[in-house]
Chains A and B, each alone.
Chain A
């Protein structure tokens, strides 16, 4: 019985012919979304932690005041989509690096995809269906414009 030792760098499978190069687009996405996320997240941190009383000022009324403005709704939704896809794709890189192809790797990637998909849908719904003045809530917990 002879064992065949393949030459170094023999491809594990034949090179793919045609079709979109998804790994290339993933590579481009990480860089493009990274630059946009730097602006969005630095702005988010500055507005929520540096201005005024910072984190001590954050409560339901603060969020209601911010999302009364479509500008901040779209800022947060864009941040949500870009960050979750950027983060899940980055985690996919680590799964590829530290696990072998097989069931475990597929389960981990499936979990990453599911977590990103569920949170993107949840977060988008929360931002756009948010009710700043829910009926029956104590007035002192609500944004000031609810009284008007």
Chain B
């Protein structure tokens, strides 16, 4: 038999009003920031693999590099670059939020507010980036 016991379970006098978690995924700002950090991280990782390979074509020939970079200059890929930059900007700002939550007690208590600060900064950054980029993509 194990030497440690699990302790005695006591029934609370009044059942808690709050909804039980139910699953591993409990919703709210904490879960969604975590989910978005994972999804954006994976997407950026796979783009990074491709991006290093396409840039490596400068070592093959000017024609080979220009051909592949030309694919990045099409309207479809231009929209894809907005999504990519959106993923990077969210991952960057939410990464700063994670660092603050780790090291600063105030931020740990206010992690939900900080999630909305991240969203606000993301909106501002994307408002600065998206029109400029799309004008470059569609005006040539």
Chain A residues with CB under 8 Å of chain B are: 4-8, 10, 31, 34-35, 37-38, 41-42, 45, 49-50, 53-56, 58-61, 63-64, 80, 83-84, 87-88, 90-91, 94, 115, 119, 122-123, 125-126, 129-131, 134, 137-138, 141-142
**A8 is contacted by which of B6, B41, B73, B102 (Cβ under 8 Å)?**
B6
Stretch at the interface among B15-23, B91-99, B112-120: B91-99
8 A Cβ contacts from B13-72 to A: 38, 41-42, 44-45, 48-49, 52-53, 55-56, 58-59, 61-63, 65-66, 69, 72
Find out whether the CB atom of A138 lies under 8 angstroms from the CB atom of B81: no
Could you give 16 example pairs across A and B, Cβ below 8 Å? A4-B2, A7-B2, A35-B95, A49-B129, A54-B136, A58-B73, A59-B65, A59-B66, A84-B48, A87-B45, A88-B45, A90-B45, A126-B58, A126-B59, A137-B63, A141-B62
Q: Is B110 an interface residue (CB 8 A)?
A: no
Q: Which of B72-107 contact A (CB under 8 A)?
A: 72-73, 78, 81, 85, 88, 92, 95-96, 98-99, 102
Interface of B is mostly: helix
Q: Are A126 and B65 in contact (CB under 8 A)?
A: no
A134 cross-chain contacts in B, Cβ below 8 A: 61-62
User: Within 8 Å of chain A (Cβ to Cβ): is B1?
Assistant: yes
* A5 to B6 alpha-carbon distance, docked (Å): 11
Interface contact B132-A87, CB-CB below 8 Å: no
